[in-house]
C-alpha cells in the first residue's frame, strides 16, 4: 500500500503536477538560504541546460501555438536566473576574499578560461553580450511581440467572419468551426502573453548590468575594508568573480531572448523552422549562383585571402547547380504527369452539374456588425429564435419549413440585413445592435429621443432608443423589443406571407408519404392515377396563399380525391377543399365564437361583378375603375371598424366571386377574410355588420 502511494506521488511529480510549485519554493530558498559552491555549480549548469532546451524547443515547434506555455516558462527561467544571481552575489561578497574559486568552479571557469583571467577583457566581453542582448535581441523581440499582439487582436473579427462564412457555405462542419475559433482565441492569448513576457527578458538584462556594478563596488569595499586585501587583489578577485558570474547569467539570458525572438518571428505555417529557412533560402538557385560569382571575383583580387573566397565560391556554385538540376527534373516529371490532361484540354475546362450550387430556399444575410447576433460563441441568440420560428410556423401551417441559411454579406451596410427566398430579396432593414426598438402600437403618451424609423415587419412608426430608456418607453405605451426580436419577427412575417412559395413538390410528396403510414388506402392510387402531383401542390399552395393551414392533410386529400374525379381544375378542387375545411377555416378566423359577424355585398353590386367577370373571362380586368375604387374604400373602412371593436372582418360573397375578390383585396386589406356562403357551417349564427353597395 505504501509503495503504491509513493509511486503515485512520484508519478505526480514526473507528470509536472508538483514540479512548478516545488521550483517556486526552491527559488525562494535560493534567495533566503546560503548555498554551497557545489550546489551553485549544479544550478548554473541546470540553468544553461534549461536555456538550451527552450531554444531547441522553439526551433523545432511546428507552430508558435504548439509552445503556448513559453511565456510562463520564460518567467520561471528569469526568476531562476535572478535567484541564482542573488545566491552567487551572497557567496561572492562573503567568500570572495579567499580567491577566484570561492563561488564555485563554473564561475571560476568563466572568469579564468573564457576570458583568460583578464578582468578587463572580461568586462569588455560582458559589455558586448549585454549590448547584443539588450539593444539588439531583446529590444527587437519586444517590438515584434507588441506588433504581433496588436495585429492579432485587430484581425480577430475578420477571422471569425471567415470561419462563419465557411460554415454557412458548408465548407466546414460545426466541430471544425469550433476548433478554429478556439485556435483564434488561443492565438490572441498567446501573443498577448508574449507582449508582456518579453518585458521579463528586457528587465533581466537591465538587472544584470546593475548587479555587475553592485558586486564590483561592494566586493572592492568589503575586500579592502573588512579583509585587509590590497587594492590590486580586491580588484582582481571580486572583478573576476563578478564578471564570471555575469557571463554565466548572460549566456542563458541571451539564449532565452533568442528563443523569444525565434518564436514570435516565425510564420504560423506548420513547418519545422530549419526546413522552412533552408527551403526558402535555397528555393531559387540564382541567388546562390550570383553569390558564388561575387565571391569568386573577390577571391581573384590580388591581396585578398584568395583561398577562403574561392572555396566558398566553389561550394556555392556546386549547390546552385545541384538545386537547378533537381528543379529541372521536378518540372519534367510534373509535365509528364500533366500530359494526359493536356492531351484533352476540353474535358478539363468543361463544367458539370456539380459545379452549380443550388439557391437556398430561405436566406438571411447580415452585415459584419450583426455577426455576434448569430454566433453562439459570442452569446448570440438569433439562431435559437430562428429555430423556434421554423418550428412554430411548421406546426401552424402543416409542413416543414426549410432551414434558414445564414451568411455574412460584406456588400451590406455593417448593421443591415436582408431576407431572401430562393435568391430573391423579400425584406431588408438596418438595425442597431446596441439599441432597442420602441414601436408605436397606435396610442402613446409622449415622444422618445432616438433614431426615428419604422418597424420592418409591419411598417409601424418606431424609435431606436438606448437600452436604459426601456422602462420609460414602456411607461409611455411603446412596445419595446430587442434586435433579435426585430429580425425574428420580420422573418416570421415573410415566411407566413410566402408559405405557398416554400411548398414544393418534395414537401408535398413527404406529406403524402406520411399520410400513407396512417391511411394507406386514401393515398393509394391518388397520384398520379386520379390527379397529378402538380395539381395537389397547386391546391395546397392556394390554401396557404389565403393563410389556411394544411395540417388536416387527411381531409384535404379526401376532398381532392373526390372533386378531381368530377372536375380536375385546380381552382374547382380548391373551392371544394375549402368547403371540406369550413369548420377549420372559421375557427382559424373567428375562434370558437358561436356568433359570426359578416360583411355582405349588395345584391345589385354582386350581379354587376358576376356579369363583369363572365364578360371578361379572367380576373375582372374590365371592371370600371370608379366602381373598383369605391368598393375598395368601403371594404377598407368597414374592416378598420371591425378591428377597432375587436371582431374579425369577414366578407361573405357568392362562390363565383370569392376567388376574384380575395385576390382583389389580399395585399391592400390583409385583415379582411373572404368566404363564400358555402363555407359557412350550419351551426354558426350569422350577424350582418355591414352591407357594401355601389
> Which CATH code for domain 503-580?
1.10.8.540
Within the chain, which residues score under 70 in pLDDT?
Answer: 1-20, 96-104, 111-119, 122, 148-149, 151-159, 161-162, 164-173, 195-198, 201-202, 235-236, 266-283, 333-351, 354-355, 616-623
Cβ-proximal residues to 183 (8 Å cutoff; 6+ apart), any chain = 65
A 10 A CB-CB count for 528 gives: 11
pLDDT of residue 557: 92
Calpha distance 192→210 (Å, rounded): 29
Helix (H, G, I), strand (E, B) or coil at 62: coil
Calpha distance 595→685 (Å, rounded): 5
Q: DSSP label at 111?
A: I
Calpha distance 59→65 (Å, rounded): 13
Q: Which superfamily, per CATH, for 591-694?
A: FHIPEP family, domain 4 (3.40.50.12790)
- Whether the bond into 528 is cis, omega within 30 of 0: yes
A 10 A CB-CB count for 315 gives: 13
Cβ-proximal residues to 379 (8 Å cutoff; 6+ apart), any chain = 372
Answer yes or no: are the C-beta atoms of 209 and 127 closer than 8 Å: no
- Ordered by start, the domain boundaries in the chain are 36-268, 285-330, 362-499, 503-580, 591-694
Calpha distance 17→10 (Å, rounded): 10
**Following DSSP, what letter does each residue of 128-190 receive, concatenated?**
HHHHIIIIIIIHHHHHHHHHHHHHHHHTHHHHHHHHHHHHHTTSS-HHHHHHHHHHHHHHHHH
Calpha distance 563→540 (Å, rounded): 14
Helix (H, G, I), strand (E, B) or coil at 532: coil
- What's the pTM? 0.51
Give the cell for residue 526. Answer: 391518388
How many Cα atoms are found within 13 Å in the side-chain-facing hemisphere of 643? 12
Q: What share of the chain is helix, strand, coil (3-state, %, to 5)?
A: 70, 10, 25
Cβ-proximal residues to 15 (8 Å cutoff; 6+ apart), any chain = none
pLDDT digits (tens, 9 = 90+) for 639-688: 988 888 888 899 999 888 888 888 888 888 888 999 998 888 888 888 89
pLDDT digits (tens, 9 = 90+) for 456-501: 988 889 999 998 888 888 888 888 899 998 999 999 999 999 999 9
Calpha distance 247→252 (Å, rounded): 9
Q: Angle between the 174-225 and 70-95 helix axes, to the nearest 10 degrees? A: 10
Answer yes or no: are the C-beta atoms of 172 and 180 closer than 8 Å: yes
Q: DSSP label at 301?
A: S
Calpha distance 550→396 (Å, rounded): 8
pLDDT of residue 346: 47
Calpha distance 589→549 (Å, rounded): 11
Query: Is the CATH number of domain 362-499 3.40.30.60?
Result: yes
Scored b (16 or more CB within 10 A) or e, 396-425 reads: ebbbbbbebbbebbeebeebbbbbbbbeee
Amino acid at each position: 500500500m505504501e509503495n503504491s502511494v509513493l509511486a503515485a506521488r512520484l508519478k505526480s511529480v514526473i507528470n509536472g503536477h508538483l514540479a512548478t510549485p516545488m521550483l517556486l519554493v526552491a527559488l525562494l530558498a535560493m534567495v533566503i538560504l546560503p548555498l554551497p559552491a557545489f550546489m551553485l555549480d549544479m544550478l548554473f549548469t541546470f540553468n544553461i541546460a534549461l536555456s538550451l532546451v527552450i531554444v531547441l524547443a522553439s526551433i523545432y515547434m511546428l507552430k508558435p501555438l504548439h509552445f503556448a506555455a513559453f511565456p510562463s516558462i520564460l518567467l520561471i527561467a528569469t526568476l531562476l536566473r535572478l535567484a541564482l544571481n542573488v545566491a552567487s552575489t551572497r557567496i561572492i561578497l562573503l567568500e570572495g576574499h579567499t580567491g577566484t574559486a570561492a563561488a564555485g568552479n563554473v564561475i571560476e571557469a568563466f572568469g579564468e578560461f573564457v576570458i583568460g583571467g583578464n578582468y578587463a577583457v572580461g568586462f569588455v566581453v560582458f559589455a558586448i553580450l549585454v549590448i547584443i542582448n539588450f539593444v539588439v535581441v531583446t529590444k527587437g523581440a519586444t517590438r515584434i511581440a507588441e506588433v504581433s499582439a496588436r495585429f492579432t487582436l485587430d484581425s480577430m473579427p475578420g477571422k471569425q467572419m471567415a470561419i462563419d462564412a465557411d460554415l454557412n457555405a458548408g465548407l466546414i462542419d460545426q466541430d471544425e468551426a469550433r476548433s478554429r475559433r478556439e485556435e483564434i482565441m488561443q492565438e490572441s492569448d498567446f501573443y498577448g502573453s508574449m507582449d508582456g513576457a518579453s518585458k521579463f527578458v528586457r528587465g533581466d538584462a537591465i538587472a544584470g548590468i546593475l548587479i555587475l556594478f553592485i558586486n564590483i563596488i561592494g566586493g572592492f569595499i568589503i575586500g579592502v575594508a573588512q579583509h585587509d586585501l590590497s587594492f590590486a587583489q580586491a580588484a582582481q578577485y571580486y572583478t573576476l568573480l563578478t564578471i564570471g558570474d555575469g557571463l554565466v547569467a548572460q549566456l542563458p539570458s541571451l539564449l532565452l531572448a533568442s528563443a523569444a525572438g525565434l518564436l514570435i518571428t516565425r510564420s504560423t505555417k506548420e513547418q519545422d523552422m530549419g526546413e522552412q529557412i533552408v527551403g526558402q533560402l535555397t528555393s531559387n538557385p540564382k541567388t546562390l549562383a550570383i553569390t558564388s560569382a561575387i565571391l569568386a571575383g573577390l577571391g581573384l583580387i590580388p591581396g585578398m585571402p584568395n583561398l577562403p573566397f574561392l572555396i566558398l565560391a566553389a561550394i556555392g556554385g556546386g549547390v546552385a547547380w545541384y538545386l537547378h538540376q533537381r528543379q529541372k527534373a521536378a518540372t519534367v516529371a510534373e509535365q509528364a504527369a500533366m500530359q494526359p490532361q493536356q492531351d484533352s484540354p476540353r474535358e478539363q475546362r468543361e463544367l458539370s452539374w456539380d459545379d452549380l450550387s443550388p439557391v437556398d430556399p430561405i436566406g438571411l444575410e447580415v452585415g459584419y456588425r450583426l455577426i455576434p447576433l448569430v454566433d453562439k460563441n459570442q452569446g448570440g441568440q438569433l439562431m435559437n429564435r430562428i429555430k423556434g420560428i421554423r418550428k412554430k410556423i411548421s406546426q401552424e401551417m402543416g409542413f416543414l419549413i426549410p432551414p434558414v441559411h445564414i451568411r455574412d454579406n460584406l456588400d451590406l451596410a455593417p448593421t443591415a440585413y436582408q431576407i431572401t427566398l430562393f435568391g430573391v430579396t423579400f425584406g431588408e432593414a438596418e438595425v442597431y445592435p446596441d439599441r432597442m426598438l420602441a414601436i408605436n402600437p397606435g396610442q402613446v403618451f409622449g415622444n422618445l429621443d432616438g433614431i426615428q424609423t419604422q418597424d420592418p415587419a409591419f411598417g409601424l412608426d418606431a424609435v431606436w432608443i438606448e437600452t436604459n430608456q426601456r422602462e420609460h418607453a414602456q411607461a409611455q405605451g411603446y412596445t419595446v423589443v430587442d434586435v433579435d426580436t426585430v429580425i425574428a419577427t420580420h422573418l416570421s412575417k415573410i415566411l407566413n406571407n410566402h408559405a405557398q412559395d416554400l411548398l414544393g413538390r418534395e414537401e408535398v410528396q413527404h406529406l403524402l408519404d406520411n399520410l400513407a403510414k396512417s391511411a394507406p388506402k386514401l393515398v393509394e392510387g391518388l397520384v398520379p392515377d386520379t390527379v397529378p402531383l402538380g395539381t395537389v401542390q397547386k391546391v395546397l399552395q392556394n390554401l396557404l396563399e389565403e393563410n389556411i393551414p394544411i395540417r388536416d392533410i387527411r381531409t384535404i386529400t379526401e376532398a381532392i380525391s373526390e372533386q378531381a374525379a368530377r372536375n380536375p381544375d385546380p381552382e374547382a378542387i380548391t373551392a371544394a377543399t375549402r368547403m371540406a375545411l369550413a369548420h377549420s377555416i372559421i375557427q382559424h378566423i373567428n375562434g370558437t365564437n358561436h356568433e359570426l359577424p359578416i360583411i355582405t355585398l349588395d345584391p345589385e353590386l354582386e350581379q354587376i361583378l358576376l356579369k363583369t367577370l363572365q364578360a371578361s373571362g379572367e380576373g375582372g380586368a374590365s371592371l370600371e375603375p370608379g366602381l373598383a375604387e369605391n368598393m375598395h374604400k368601403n371594404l377598407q373602412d368597414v374592416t378598420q371598424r371591425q378591428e377597432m371593436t375587436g371582431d374579425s372582418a369577414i366578407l361573405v360573397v357568392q362562390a363565383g366571386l370569392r376567388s376574384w375578390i380575395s385576390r382583389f383585396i389580399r395585399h391592400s386589406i390583409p385583415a379582411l377574410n373572404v368566404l363564400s356562403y358555402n363555407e359557412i357551417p350550419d351551426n354558426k349564427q350569422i350577424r350582418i355588420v355591414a352591407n357594401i353597395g355601389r
